[in-house]
Amino acid sequence: MKKVTERIDNKLRSRIRVIIWKQWKVAKKQIKSLIQLGIPEEEAKGLIYCRKGYRYIGLSKVVQRAISNNRLKQRGVPSALEHYLKVHTVI
What is the predicted pLDDT for the residue at 7? Answer: 93
Q: What is the pLDDT of residue 9?
A: 93
pLDDT, tens digit only, all 91 positions of the chain: 889 999 999 999 999 999 999 999 999 999 999 999 999 999 999 998 888 899 999 899 999 999 999 999 999 998 888 888 888 876 6
- pLDDT given for residue 24 in this prediction: 93
The confidence score (pLDDT) of residue 42 equals 94
At residue 84, the pLDDT reads: 87
What is the pTM assigned to this prediction?
Answer: 0.85
Q: How far apart are CA 17 and CA 60, in angstroms?
A: 10
CB < 8 Å & 24+ apart, contacts of 55-63? 55/14, 55/18, 57/18, 57/21, 58/14, 58/15, 58/17, 58/18, 58/21, 59/14, 62/34, 63/17, 63/21, 63/34
pLDDT at 18: 94
Range of the domain at 83: 2-87
The number of distinct structural domains making up the chain is: 1
